Amino acid sequence: MSDPTLSFDEAMEQFDPVLGFEVHVELNTKTKMFSSAPNAFGDDPNTNVNEVDLGLPGVLPVVNKAAVESSIKIGLALNCEIAESCRFARKNYFYPDTPKNFQTSQYDEPIAHDGWIDIELEDGEVFRVEIERAHMEEDAGKLTHMGGATGRIQGAEYSLVDYNRAGVPLVEIVTKPIVGAGRRAPELARAYVSAIREIVKNLGVSDARMERGNVRCDANVSLMPKGATKFGIRSETKNVNSLRSVEHAVRHEIQRHAAVLAGGGTVTQETRHWHEDTRTTTAGRPKSDADDYRYFPEPDLVPVVATREWVESIRAQLPEPPAERRKRLKAAWGYSDPEFRDVVNAGVVDAIEETISAGATPAAARKWWMGEIVGRAKVADVEPAELGVTPEAIVELNGLVEGGKLNNKMAAQVLDGVIAGEGTPTQVMEARGLVLVSDDGALLEAIDSALAAQPEVAEKIRGGKVQAVGAIVGGVMKATRGQADAGRVRELILEKLGVNA
């Protein structure tokens, strides 16, 4: 049963959306937040656990210093204040994903607070999203529901629990309410999560693979009548775990809320479950007593004190923010807006940067990556960088073309050879016998034959129709099996016919 919705346009005519996001980022430390068990994905069940992760009696958690540093890095990258001192807290609840019956988290003392990031939408419009806080906590174990018809909890007879993920370090990033996005709210939602993902990946603190749950988003949506300032009642759609889903979930919730409100109803404050197949949400549990988590300071852990020296030494290690880097590269390379957007969307910014520093011009680097390699990657269904074409190979190949040793058609064949692992461009060229014929003697012979074969075309050219020369060039290229230097052929033909081009 899907809920009634208004169309997005109808919803936007009557209401202003307010958004809020909680994004969980799994850190890629070697060990867990509070134990020395490995933090690894995809291993056999319960092989990455020790007594601390299982919440056995008498254990003592100890904080992973690298996880704290990663958390500070995230806070700094989000322009947050870093707390001089902060504590962990116990969030108490009963559910088998947490063997201790509490999650060690932070409550009133997050390590980072009061930050912001600027989110640029595709057309260049910028929204500033304010960050309420970023706090440290631990991930929960993974439940698999068994015996039900669909593997869902409804109808399940029992659940199996793997605690490999229990205790994996998490940073939860919480925004302040985002007002004023209007009809761009769904786009902004996607762009925000995308920016967080890019930032943590760029910092090197998370693998940031959404399909593995490294970055997970809970999306809060409420509506208020146009022009109002008092927020409406919100819903929280949990675990929206792809960029596309975030955009669709926000759009759906806007349309669903609008239908409720336009019909004179009241939105229920509740969590919602996202369903990728139907692109709709269904009601989860309402906010209730179950949310009484009885937070209290974790007595087994002592405060984390971030001295200014420590924070500044971490700040000094931060890489250039992705958005600033893009701006700098676009200006340096002289690409147009659409050219640069295509490069970004194709995921070859790094590759082009490396190719340019290996000696190619920005134009040449773009030509090879966007014109040749991206298309081949698409056919092979891999990332462009995974085809194994090195920046050096591209520079060499480009040099062969510019030096008149290869034409573009032959260069494409050489590139295929390089991708097939046949060696460097020069080695492939030699092994495949690809030699551009620019020896005038050999070319003139082929030109004579081509002119003789098409005397009427030769007449036209003599009569001044220079563009007809293409037909003769084509004949020569065919006779030389594509290995002639087309530019030189053209010159020689015109010379022979006594025409000034």
Partner 1 sequence: MAEITRDDVAHLAQLARIEMSAHELDRMAGELAHIVDAVKSVSEVAAPDVPATSHPIALSNVFREDVVGHVLTPDQALSGAPDADDHRFKVPAILDEE
| Footprint of partner 1 (CB under 8 A) | 29-31, 36-38, 44-51, 54, 56, 62-68, 85, 87, 92, 94-96, 143-148, 152-154, 156-163, 238, 271, 273, 284-285, 289-290, 292, 294, 297-299, 301-305
Closest approach of partner 1 to the CB of residue 89, in Å:
9
Q: Which helix (H) or strand (E) holds 491?
A: helix 486-497
Distance of alpha carbon 182 from its chain centroid, rounded? 24
Give the nearest distance from C-beta 372 to partner 1 in angstroms.
Answer: 42
The rounded Cα 358 to chain-centroid distance in angstroms is: 25
CB of 415: closest distance to partner 1 in angstroms?
Answer: 42
Q: Is 379 exposed, middle or buried (0-12, 13-18, 19+ CB in 10 A)?
A: exposed
26 vs 485, which CB is nearer to partner 1?
A: 26
- Strands 235-240 and 215-225, bridge-based pairing: antiparallel
**Bridge partners of residue 90, in order along the sequence:** 104, 296
Q: Which is nearer to partner 1, 294 or 478 (CB)?
A: 294
Helices marked H in 334-439? 337-345, 349-357, 362-368, 374-380, 391-402, 408-419, 425-431
89-92 and 102-105: which strand pairing? antiparallel
154 vs 467, beta carbon nearer partner 1: 154
- The single-letter DSSP state of residue 44 is P
What's the start-to-end Cα distance of the chain, in Å?
73
And the tokens for 210?
Answer: 């959404």
Least gap, CB of 237 to partner 1 (angstroms): 13
Q: Of the two residues 27 and 346, which places its CB atom closer to partner 1 in the complex?
A: 27
Instruction: Extract the tokens encoding 323.
Output: 């958005």
Whose Cβ is closer to partner 1: residue 63's or residue 344's?
Answer: 63
Burial of residue 264, with CB atoms counted within 10 A of its CB: 0-12 exposed, 13-18 middle, 19 or more buried: exposed
Pairing label, strands 270-275, 235-240: parallel
Q: Give the shortest CB-282-to-partner 1 separation in angstroms.
A: 11
CB burial string 162-180: b at 16+ within 10 A, e below:
bbbbbbbbbbbbbbeebee
Give 165 or 366: the residue with its C-beta nearer to partner 1: 165
In the bound complex, what is the minimum distance in angstroms from residue 295's beta carbon to partner 1? 12
Q: Which is nearer to partner 1, 164 or 175 (CB)?
A: 164
Nearer to partner 1, 45 or 347 (CB): 45
| 100 vs 190 by CB, closer to partner 1 | 100
Asked whether the CA dihedral 261, 264, 270, 274 is positive or negative, the reply is negative
Least spacing, CB of residue 50 vs partner 1, in Å: 5
d(CA 106, CA 128): 26
Q: How far is the CB of 66 from partner 1 (least distance, A)?
A: 4
Residues 6+ positions from 306 with CB-CB distance below 8 Å: 68, 72, 82, 83, 84, 85, 86, 111
What's the min distance (Å) between Cβ of 114 and partner 1?
Answer: 22
CB of 37 to partner 1, least distance (A): 5
Q: How far is the CB of 164 from partner 1 (least distance, A)?
A: 10
* CA pair distance 189, 217, nearest whole angstrom: 10
Nearer to partner 1 by C-beta: 142 or 184? Answer: 142
Nearer to partner 1, 162 or 396 (CB): 162
DSSP 290: G
Torsion sign, CA atoms 347, 353, 359, 364: positive
User: How far is the C-alpha of 311 from the C-alpha of 71, rounded, in Å?
Assistant: 11
Query: Can you tell me whether residue 248 is helix, strand or coil?
Result: helix
